[in-house]
């Protein structure tokens, strides 16, 4: 297999995943490769190394992960550790060796979720095992200075769930909105909160799913895990 124009090439892990597929259908004029698990297995150093040496990307977006349902991270702890922590560690090892810029998809749920409006420099206290597993990945990524951590809470469009919390505020954002940011954040480093307007999950969901039911989430989830996205706004000028 031959690949051309390696100067600005991007590889995204989890090529069959939800975000990657939205990115693939977008009109962005970027040189992106979408390897699946067979082409690039994040649990195997050799698989990662072989693929990246062959394709020679400048950037790697690490989106492959075990995400939902979030209860999986309680019942399948080993799988959560393997995919979200060890897999990310493997990606960091190879990217650092090959000097590839790494962009890691973490989660806004690493913040405590009580007061909201969390800035990137604020203390963190993950709200559940899923968030702990993503924070484990962050620890590895932070060791590699040529990296960017995105703390983000994405979902499909339209909102796919039957019910939504009216008493939990977040910065939910759709995949297609995040896609638009990609070209402007490729060369940023450090940590960046990525999200939309702070609002209840229910109000967010109603925009694309008028039949969504209103339920309370206060006993199931922190009341306000919303993030301060002023840093993001400066980068993209507007949301």
Task: Please state, for a pLDDT cut of 90, what percent of the chain lies above it.
Answer: 90
Task: Please count the other Cβ atoms lying within 10 Å of the Cβ belonging to residue 153.
Answer: 19
110 occurs within a structural domain:
yes
187 occurs within a structural domain:
yes
Predicted pLDDT of residue 135: 98
Bond preceding residue 69 cis, omega within 30 of 0: yes
Report the C-alpha gap between 47 and 43 in whole angstroms: 8
Q: Write out pLDDT tens, residues 84-113.
A: 999 999 999 999 999 999 999 999 999 999
The answer on pLDDT for 153 being more than 60 is yes
CB 204 within 8 A of CB 172: yes
Q: Write out pLDDT tens, residues 122-141.
A: 999 999 999 999 999 999 99
Token output for 86? 């060890």
Predicted pLDDT of residue 204: 97
The answer on pLDDT for 54 being more than 70 is yes
Q: Mean pLDDT throughout 7-21?
A: 93
Report the C-alpha gap between 204 and 201 in whole angstroms: 5
∠ CA 120-111-114, rounded to 5° = 120
Average pLDDT across the chain, whole number: 94
- Expressed as residue numbers, the domain containing 71 is 10-157+171-196
Predicted pLDDT of residue 70: 83
205 occurs within a structural domain:
no
The answer on pLDDT for 146 being more than 90 is yes
The answer on pLDDT for 4 being more than 50 is no
Q: Write out pLDDT tens, residues 55-77.
A: 999 999 999 999 888 889 999 99
204 occurs within a structural domain:
no
CATH number, residue 54: 3.40.50.720
Q: Write out pLDDT tens, residues 171-184.
A: 999 999 999 999 99
40 occurs within a structural domain:
yes
206 occurs within a structural domain:
no
218 occurs within a structural domain:
no
Predicted pLDDT of residue 3: 43
Q: What is the pTM of this model?
A: 0.94
Predicted pLDDT of residue 46: 98
Number of domains comprising the chain: 1
92 occurs within a structural domain:
yes
Q: Which helix (H) or strand (E) holds 193?
A: strand 190-194
The answer on pLDDT for 196 being more than 90 is yes
């Amino acid at each position: 297999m031959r690949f051309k124009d390696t100067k600005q090439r991007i590889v995204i892990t989890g090529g069959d995943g939800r975000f990657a597929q939205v990115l693939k259908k977008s009109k962005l004029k970027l040189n992106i490769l979408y390897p699946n698990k067979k082409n690039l297995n994040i649990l195997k150093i050799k698989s990662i190394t072989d693929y990246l040496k062959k394709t020679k990307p400048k950037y790697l977006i690490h989106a492959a992960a075990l995400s939902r349902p979030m209860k999986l991270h309680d019942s399948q702890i080993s799988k959560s550790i393997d995919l979200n922590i060890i897999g990310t560690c493997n990606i960091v090892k190879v990217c650092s060796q090959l000097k590839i810029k790494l962009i890691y998809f973490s989660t806004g749920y690493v913040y405590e979720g009580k007061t909201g409006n969390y800035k990137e420099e604020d203390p963190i206290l993950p709200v559940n095992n899923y968030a702990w597993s993503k924070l484990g990945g962050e620890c590895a990524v932070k060791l590699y200075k040529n990296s960017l951590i995105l703390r983000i809470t994405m979902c499909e469009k339209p909102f796919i769930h039957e019910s939504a919390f009216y008493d939990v505020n977040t910065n939910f954002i759709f995949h297609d909105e995040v896609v638009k940011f990609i070209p402007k954040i490729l060369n940023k480093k450090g940590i960046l909160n990525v999200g939309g307007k702070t609002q209840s999950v229910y109000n967010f969901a109603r925009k694309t799913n008028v039949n969504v039911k209103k339920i309370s989430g206060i006993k199931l989830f922190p009341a306000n895990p919303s993030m301060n996205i002023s840093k993001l706004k400066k980068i993209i000028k507007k949301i």
